[in-house]
Amino acid sequence: MAALAVVFVFAIAVFAHCSAAMGAAAAVVDPNTSDTRNFTVPSAPSTTAKGPVTYVFGDSMSDVGNNNYFPMSLAKSNYPWYGIDYPGREATGRFTNGKTIGDYMADKFGVPSPPPFLSLSLAGKDVLGGVNFASGGAGILNETGVYFVQYFSFDEQITCFETVKKAMIAKIGKEAAEAAVNAALFQIGLGSNDYINNFLQPFMADGTTYTHDQFIRLLITTLDRQLKRLYGLGARKVVFNGLAPLGCIPSQRVRSTDGKCLGKVNAYAAQFNAAARKLLDGLNAKLPGAQMALADCYSVVMELIDHPEKHGFTTAHTSCCNVDTEVGGLCLPNTRPCRDRSAFVFWDAYHTSDAANKVIADRLWADMMVSAGHGGAASAPPRAGASSPAAAPAPSPSDDY
C-alpha cells in the first residue's frame, strides 16, 4: 500500500517514444505496418492525439478502484476524506485526496485513465483499451499484503492480464491481439509494500527469516520469473518504477526519535533499485525485442521532500491527515485533514497528495517533451534504464533505525 513508485507516469516519461500505432478503445494494430519492436519518437501531442494503450500493474499508488470490488479487503479508500478534491468530490478507490499521477498524465494525453480490471465487461470493447490491474496492498511477493485479506497480488494481476488477452483474441483474432500487446506499454509499480508492509514489520516472517541481502535476492528472483511470464504473454515495452526514498514517508519518519528520514530504509530502496536495474538490463540482453527500463522515482520524490518550498508546498515531513502511524496510517472519516491540502506533499502516512501528484506529472511531462525532441534538447530516445538509482540523491543517514 505504501508504494511511492509513481505508476504509469514514469513509464511515459522514460518511454516518451512509445509506438504511436496503438490507439485507444477499439483501435486494432496492423501487424504488417506497426513497429512492435522499437520505440519511436512521437510528434508533439495535439488535442486529437491518442496516447499509448497502457497496462498498469501495481499497488495503492496506482489502484483506481479494483479493491472496491473486494468485500473483505482492508486496503480500501472508497470513503471520505479520500476523493475530496477529485471531480465531483467522489471517493473512487484512489488512495489520495484527488487524482493520481497517472490520472494527470492521462489528462495531458487527452485519454481516460485505464479503468480498473474488475469494472470491465470482458465481452465488450473494454478489453481493447488500457487496463489497470493495480491493487492496494500488493507486492512482488505473494505473502506481502496478506493481512489486508483481499487484494490482487502481482502474480494474480498477471493472471488477470492473461484473461484480458484471451478476451482480445476472441474479439479481434490472435494475430491482431498479439500485435496490440506487443505495441502496448506495461507499467509496473511494485516493491514498496514488500518493505513497508512485509520486511520492515516485526510480525511478518520475512523480516526475521532473511537478511536484507537474502531478501533482495528473493525479490529479484521472483520479479525475474514474473517479468518473463509477462514477456511470454506478449509484453515488450516495460517500465518498472524504482523505489522512492521509503525512509522519508511519514509512516517511517515516526519510527525515528527526531522525525528525520530513516537512512537505512532509504539505503534498502537504493540497493533494491540497483538490483532491479541489473535484472532489467539482463532481460533486455536475453529476450528478443524486450525493452525494459527502470524509472528513477527516487530523485523526483526526494526533490519534493528536500525542497518542498520550490514547488509551492510548506510541509513534506508529515501528512495532511495527521495519521503518521507505522500500521494503518490512512485518512479515516473521523480524522481532520489539514485546512490547506495543497500545501502538503503527503496526504496520509503513505501516499502523496493530489497537489504533489500534479507537480510530479507536470515535471515528467516537461521531461518527456525534452526527451522526445519537442523542447529544444535531446532528439533521440533515452536508452532504457538511463535513469538509475546511482543518480539519486544519497540517502540521509540516521542512527534511529
For the chain, the residue count is 401
- 3-state DSSP helix/strand/coil % of the chain, to nearest 5: 40, 10, 50
Q: What gap in Å lies between CA 348 and CA 323, rounded to an integer? A: 6
Q: What is the pLDDT of residue 382?
A: 35
What does 213-261 look like in DSSP terms, one character per residue?
HHHHHHHHHHHHHHHHHHHHTT--EEEEEPP--GGGSHHHHTTSSSS--
Q: One digit per residue, pLDDT tens: the chain, 401 residues?
A: 443 333 333 333 333 333 322 232 233 333 333 332 232 222 333 333 467 788 999 999 989 999 999 999 999 999 999 999 999 999 999 999 999 887 887 787 777 899 999 999 887 778 898 999 999 999 999 999 999 999 999 999 999 999 999 999 999 999 999 999 999 989 899 999 999 999 999 889 999 999 999 999 999 999 999 999 999 999 999 989 889 999 999 999 999 988 899 999 999 999 999 999 999 999 999 999 999 988 888 888 899 999 999 999 999 999 999 999 877 899 999 999 999 999 999 999 999 999 998 887 787 677 656 655 665 333 333 333 333 333 333 333 333 33
Domain 9-391: give its CATH code.
3.40.50.1110
C-alpha cell at 108: 495531458
Q: Cell numbers 476524506 correspond to what residue?
A: 81
C-alpha cell at 170: 476472441
Q: Which residues are catalytic?
A: 60, 348, 351
CA angle 321, 101, 143 (to 5 degrees): 75
CA angle 309, 346, 141 (to 5 degrees): 135
Q: What is the pLDDT of residue 174?
A: 97
* Residue 173 CB partners (closer than 8 Å, separation 6+): none
Q: What is the pLDDT of residue 98?
A: 96
Q: What is the pLDDT of residue 53?
A: 86
Residue 101, classed as helix, strand or coil, is: helix
Give per-residue pLDDT as tens, 301-313: 899 999 999 999 9
CA angle 264, 261, 337 (to 5 degrees): 140
Q: What gap in Å lies between CA 216 and CA 98, rounded to an integer? A: 33
Strands 185-189 and 131-132: unpaired
Residue 318, classed as helix, strand or coil, is: strand
Give per-residue pLDDT as tens, 165-202: 999 999 999 999 999 999 998 989 999 999 999 999 98
Do residues 356 and 304 touch, judged by C-beta distance below 8 A? yes
Domain-wise residue ranges, the chain: 9-391
Q: What gap in Å lies between CA 98 and CA 86, rounded to an integer? A: 4
Q: What is the pLDDT of residue 391?
A: 36
Q: What is the pLDDT of residue 357?
A: 87
- Residue from 188, 242, 181 nearest 8 by CA: 188
Q: What is the pLDDT of residue 371?
A: 52
Q: What is the pLDDT of residue 297?
A: 82
Q: What gap in Å lies between CA 276 and CA 270, rounded to an integer? A: 10
Phi, psi for 344 (deg, rounded to 5): -110, 135
Q: What gap in Å lies between CA 75 and CA 330, rounded to an integer? A: 9
Phi, psi for 164 (deg, rounded to 5): -65, -45
CA 39 to chain centre: 21
C-alpha cell at 226: 514474473
